[in-house]
Amino acid sequence: MIGQDIINLFASLGDLGMLLAIVVIIWIDGTAFPTLPEVWLVWIFGTHPLSFSWSASLVLVASFASLLGNFSLYALVKVAKIPNWIQKRMRQYTKFLVVHDERLLLLNRIAPILPYTGAFIAACNWNPRRSAVYILASALAKFSIIMLISWASFDNLKREIAPWVSLGFVAIFLAASVIVSFAYKRRRIARGDKQRSPS
């Protein structure tokens, strides 16, 4: 898996290498394709379990890496100038959702209904500063929750078992997010079809 390859690449640098690895993993996740950063965050936390400074460092680094990934894609879309018809479709998609502006970035942390958020920020002409605040705030909240789950697992279970329990909770969280996302999309589609049907 690419996450493991990245971790192995930076492993020789020690703790700094682990922080660099999570930055690269999350940057790729925000700009190119999913890398399951939540999973690798748990494994990297396990290198220094029950260390508040390590947990805080991971949360901060992961959150700013999320910001970096999103705005790298934002800059790429702005420079590349994707076709207007694609941007129009992207704007139409957001208007189909419960909120149509930067607040979608907060909702997206709970239910991933908006892929490649950096591209949407550019295509929808959202306020970059407000978008950055929402991305950073939601990332801090999500990664803090993951660290708290990991901390509780390592604090109450054997070290050999704790990472798997933490990953189990993270997997449940991710699966629930996907289920909520699909249910939300289907509900919006059904509602849209009903509104378009002749009375």
pLDDT digits 0-9 by tens, 139-157? 999 999 889 888 877 766 5
- Report the chain's mean pLDDT, rounded to a whole number: 83
Q: Judging by beta carbons within 10 Å of its beta carbon (0-12, 13-18, 19+), is residue 71 exposed, middle or buried? A: buried
Per the CB < 8 A criterion, the answer to whether 42 and 166 are in contact is yes
**Model confidence over 67-108: pLDDT tens digits?**
999 999 999 999 988 889 999 999 888 877 777 889 889 888
pLDDT for the residue 160: 57
For residue 93, give Cα distances in angstroms to 47, 99, 189.
41, 11, 11
Distance (Å, whole) CA 116 – CA 175:
19
Residue in the structure block whose two tokens are 């947990």: 55
Q: Report CA 58 to chain centroid distance, whole Å.
A: 14
What local confidence, expressed as pLDDT, does residue 108 receive?
83
What are the tokens at 131? 């978008």
Distance CA 36, CA 168 (A): 13
> What 3-state DSSP class applies to 148?
helix
Kindly tell me the burial class for residue 159, based on how many C-beta atoms sit within 10 Å of its own C-beta (0-12, 13-18, 19 or more): exposed
